[in-house]
Structure 1
């Protein structure tokens, strides 16, 4: 990749139109939806996106970061990416972290809604319904990637392109299929077409203990809102109800932790 475009061209003003757009993408879901783009920050996230051939459209890099990462950037064919060199001071201003690494990017949404009709037969999926916490969402995506799930599906949940979600995934957002803003009825239809049994994760002593659940034919596990769980109308639509039987001194788990346990059990039979 030719980086000569940086020579002598350093943006210092926060009022530069491209910089202003990046700032809005960092803070506004409305802007992200309007432009169908989301922001990345940090060496690991940006290079994970490049390694995964994600649709990166623009890279901002500070003078200091360019000096450190020039050789690494030149390993990639990024002829379709707009590169903008910014001052170190401007990098500090647009950063969403306490200590910036000086490299940022804008990436287009990965549109997967059409792929929902082609879920893997007897596949293994986590379905997050009305999940609201960005940290939980990002951790679940990262855990699903680590365990080898076929995908994560979001319905009526938080914005998966929120910078907090993206940071929490540690790059897994680029390595595992993630479906977002999918109507729940479409999910049940796709699961049925792919011959995937659906499992409602509930807090109910009458539900089947997940440790005794047979996932040999895959499954789609539905996880609900952090405070309220799955609505009755959703859990009743699922093939089975499952729960984590607890014998300690607590009766509930963090949503990301509970989902991680369930995904582990789901993948034991793969």
Structure 2
């Protein structure tokens, strides 16, 4: 599945990584009077790519995007997203996978931050629903800091059905939730093939999604606040899996 509609990304780091990743960058606009060293280095990289490049005013860039662009905006083709059908085909080929499942993450910045953590933790795949979820926008690209181009991302129409397919492939599915039946993440063996399901920023996991999980886990909170931002919680949870797997490998 792909979206051929061009979209804009912005920010020095995001555009630089898109160019280096060989992504379908179609056009670049760069501030004409900029003296920023990083921006000038990006100009050299853009010129080497031989893509259409326009030196424009700061006001022109402000008209292109209503956000902090750092003097550069690029137009790219939509990111390649795989489908539920693709997920079912690939599941059988993964050895000891770590899958991140996102249930209705609505903020594109949170989505980008989750993807950045997923890439850093070396996840096998990210699965998220098509409905009631943020799409991969320019803001997502910027927050993800290049992770979008390096991840296997699956956008599915029915998240519960996708979770069932993941379970049938021999992967244990753990939903994160503050629930009476939840167990501390630090007391849960996550060293095998696992999928971690993260819920919506305000409402958490939907009822049917929660029911479809094999087990529920939570992060013990020592302070007055009883929950973390979903992107922060995603990073903490994924890296606990990484830590456990590292210890497991050391003992074998």
Q: Answer yes or no: same fold by TM over 0.5.
A: yes
Task: Return the alpha-carbon distance in structure 1 between the equivalents of residues 33 and 152 of structure 2.
Answer: 34
For residue 152 of structure 1, report the CA deviation from its aligned partner: 1.9
1:264 is aligned to 239
> Which of 86, 90, 94 does residue 115 from structure 1 map onto?
86
Mapped contact 1:215–1:269 kept (Cα < 8 A): yes
Aligned partner of 2:127 in structure 1 is 153
* Rounded Cα–Cα distance in structure 1 between residues aligned with 2:71 and 2:208: 46
Q: Residues 43-100 of structure 1: CA distance to partner in whole angstroms, max 9, x if unpaired?
A: 2211201211222233333434699344322444x5xx5x142521422321333464
Q: Is the 8 A contact 2:173 2:214 kept in 1?
A: yes
- Which moved further from structure 2: 250-259 or 235-244? 250-259
RMSD between aligned residues: 2.6
Gaps in structure 2 of 5+ consecutive residues:
246-252
Does 2:222 correspond to 1:247?
yes
1:46 pairs with one of 15, 27, 40: 15
Conservation of the 8 A alpha-carbon contact between 1:223 and 1:259 = yes
Indicate the residue corresponding to 2:99 in structure 1. Answer: 125
1:141 CA displacement = 0.9
**Aligned match for 1:236, one of 200, 203, 211:** 211
The equivalences for 1:198-237 within 5 A come to 198-237=173-212
Provide closer, same or farther for how the CA distance between residues 61 and 197 of structure 1 changes in structure 2, counting only shifts above 3 A: same
> Which of 172, 177, 192 is the equivalent residue of 2:147?
172
Cα distance change of structure 1 residues 62 and 140 upon mapping to structure 2, 3 Å threshold: same
Q: How does 1:7-156 map to 2 (within 5 A)?
A: 35-64=4-33, 68=40, 69-76=42-49, 81=51, 83-88=52-57, 89-98=59-68, 100-113=70-83, 114-117=85-88, 118-119=90-91, 120-155=94-129, 156=131
Pair member with larger Rg = 1
Q: Do the aligned partners of 2:30 and 2:43 also contact (CA within 8 Å) in 1?
A: no
CA–CA distance in structure 2, aligned partners of residues 38 and 192 of structure 1: 35
Unaligned runs of 5+ in 1: 1-32
Bigger Cα displacement from structure 2, 164-173 vs 176-185: 176-185
Contact 2:29–2:56 (CA under 8 A) maintained in structure 1: no
CA distance in 1, matches of 2:158, 2:228: 26
How many equivalent pairs are there? Answer: 234
CA distance in 2, matches of 1:230, 1:74: 46
Corresponding position of 1:20:
none
Give the Cα separation in 2 of the matches to 1:55 and 1:205: 47
Q: Structure 1 residues 252, 71: closer, same or farther in 2, change over 3 A? A: closer
Contact 1:46 1:103 in 2 (8 A): yes
Name the residue aligned to 2:159. Answer: 184
TM-score (norm 2): 0.81
Deviations 1:151-173 (A, max 9, x none): 22211343332222222112211
CA contact (8 A) 2:12 2:70 kept: no
